[in-house]
């Protein structure tokens, strides 16, 4: 017969478990490790990590965040002047759990890669001070202050002769060929934008021309010509930390889509479930627009149209996350012609890269679209050559794609050494 505990013994046992559990919950955090602070840099292609390892040798760099004392998460977003704002989130782990702070800096559009990486290294040094100060490496710290030049003047937006407008142009081309084929292409673009906290105004245009000639036989050749032109304008007013209203305009000419010219003007609203100030790390938006379309076609369409005027509406939601566990983004969009309700399309895509456990990550990208709005398709069947070179879009009821992959690394947890011998230092460009 099993031994029965007395009520007093049961109470004592419960009290001992509660006391031990409370003591465990209230125990102080682990003391800092006796060696250098361990840092995991999480910034994808935004940082030159080899450079940072050389410039900041006072810490150890980890290949996996689970081995680190500090997780440095770097996110970016574009600034109104065409530059980039970097947000550096320092997340304490292990003995430094709960010690978090955020630093930011902006790199100008005209800044070189070297200037940007130097600026980033200085900001990272400042961010690591509070962690290193509590470590055995604190004795190696040397703090200096730059001179306070009181005669220096700060930039005054009111004195900006460009009134915050930024302009860009681009032009390029290519020539290519083999014994049986040759081709050439020309491309160009231009843009202008002005961004403030209250307004976002942008205009952009691009053009592309491509011509390829194929020798099918001694007496037969085939020439494929593609022409594309796009122009877009956006005027957005910030209403609240979550709401904004805008007016969108576009003009498109494309041989692929049979557009001689298509214009669209559409007012709309957008709601962000998170404040826009958190956009570098998380965004969840819902956008709705109603547009007026005026379309002229290159060729007569399958609906016997050479031109038409339509109204449409579009609803889309977009998710973007950049968190310590990885990244995720996705979008679901619905568009429909109000004048022809049976002509609509629904599309969705999603991508994620997640660290499941130490050294193991999983990534997947998927897209799916149901198309019922190909009103621009030219009448008549495409030739074999046009199908092979994708000179025109073909009729379809759906589109899909799936890409996935896994990666796993193991071995030494340290990632400190930089050795660029025999091409190990990355891309080198000659000018």
Beta-bridge partners for 203: 192, 233
Instruction: Specify the higher pLDDT residue, 376 or 383.
Output: 376
102-139 burial, b at 16+ Cβ within 10 Å, e below that, comes to eeeeebeeeeeeeebbebbbebbbebbeebbeebebee
CA distances from residue 14 to 6, 21, 27, 282 in whole angstroms, order as listed:
13, 10, 20, 44
120 has a pLDDT exceeding 80: yes
- How confident is the model at residue 312, as a pLDDT? 96
**Predicted confidence band at 251 (pLDDT cuts at 50, 70, 90)?**
very high
241 has a pLDDT exceeding 80: yes
Average pLDDT over residues 280-289: 90
- How confident is the model at residue 134, as a pLDDT? 79
Average pLDDT over residues 144-165: 63
Average pLDDT over residues 230-248: 95
CA distances from residue 119 to 51, 53, 97, 102 in whole angstroms, order as listed:
12, 14, 27, 16
Mean residue pLDDT of the chain comes to 81
Q: Where are the domains of the chain?
A: 38-140, 162-408
* Residues, the chain: 431
Instruction: Specify the higher pLDDT residue, 387 or 357.
Output: 357
Half-sphere exposure of 161 (CA within 13 A, CB side): 0
pTM: 0.68
**Predicted confidence band at 15 (pLDDT cuts at 50, 70, 90)?**
very low
- How confident is the model at residue 29, as a pLDDT? 53
CATH of 162-408, one of 2.40.160, 3.40.720, 2.40.30, 2.60.120: 2.40.160
Distance CA 314, CA 317 (A): 10
From the CB of residue 175, how many other CB atoms can be counted at a distance below 10 Å?
Answer: 8
Tokens of 5: 């505990």
Q: What is the CATH number of domain 38-140?
A: 3.30.160
154 has a pLDDT exceeding 50: no
261 has a pLDDT exceeding 50: yes
- How confident is the model at residue 254, as a pLDDT? 93
23 has a pLDDT exceeding 70: no
Instruction: Specify the higher pLDDT residue, 285 or 109.
Output: 285
The helix/strand/coil state of 94 is helix
């Amino acid at each position: 017969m099993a031994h029965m505990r007395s009520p007093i013994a049961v109470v004592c046992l419960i009290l001992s478990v509660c006391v031990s559990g409370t003591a465990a919950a209230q125990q102080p955090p682990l003391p800092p490790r006796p060696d250098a602070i361990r840092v995991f840099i999480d910034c994808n292609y935004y940082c030159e990590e080899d450079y940072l390892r050389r410039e900041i040798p006072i810490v150890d760099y980890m290949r996996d965040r689970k081995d680190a004392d500090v997780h440095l998460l770097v996110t970016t977003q574009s600034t109104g002047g065409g530059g980039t704002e970097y947000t550096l989130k320092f997340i304490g782990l292990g003995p430094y759990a709960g010690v978090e702070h955020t630093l930011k800096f902006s790199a100008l559009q005209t800044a070189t890669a070297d200037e940007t990486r130097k600026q980033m290294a200085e900001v990272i040094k400042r961010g690591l001070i509070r962690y290193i100060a509590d470590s055995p490496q604190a004795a190696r710290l040397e703090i200096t202050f730059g001179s306070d030049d009181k005669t220096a003047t700060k930039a005054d937006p009111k004195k900006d002769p460009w009134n915050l407008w930024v302009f860009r142009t681009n032009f390029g081309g290519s020539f290519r060929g083999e014994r049986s084929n040759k081709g050439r292409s020309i491309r160009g673009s231009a843009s202008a934008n002005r961004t403030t906290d209250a307004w976002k105004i942008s205009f952009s245009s691009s053009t592309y021309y491509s011509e390829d000639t194929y020798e099918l036989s001694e007496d037969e050749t085939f020439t494929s010509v593609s022409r594309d032109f796009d122009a877009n304008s956006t005027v957005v007013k910030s209403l609240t930390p979550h709401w904004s209203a805008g007016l969108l305009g576009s003009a498109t000419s494309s041989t692929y889509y049979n557009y001689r010219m298509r214009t669209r003007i559409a007012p709309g609203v957008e709601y962000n479930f998170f404040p826009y100030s958190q956009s570098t790390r998380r965004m969840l938006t819902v956008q709705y627009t109603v547009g007026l379309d005026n379309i002229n076609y290159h060729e007569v369409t399958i609906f016997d149209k050479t031109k038409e005027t339509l109204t449409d509406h579009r609803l889309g939601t977009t998710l973007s996350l950049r968190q310590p566990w990885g990244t995720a983004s996705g979008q679901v969009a619905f568009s429909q012609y109000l004048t022809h309700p049976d002509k609509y399309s629904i599309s969705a895509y999603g991508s994620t890269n997640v660290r499941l456990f130490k050294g193991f990550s999983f990534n997947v990208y998927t897209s799916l679209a149901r198309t019922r709005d190909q009103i621009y398709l030219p009448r008549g069947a495409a030739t074999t050559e046009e199908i092979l070179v994708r000179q025109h879009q073909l009729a379809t009821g759906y589109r899909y794609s799936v890409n996935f992959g896994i990666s796993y690394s193991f071995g030494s947890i340290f990632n400190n050494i930089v050795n660029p011998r025999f091409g190990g230092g990355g891309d080198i460009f000659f000018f």
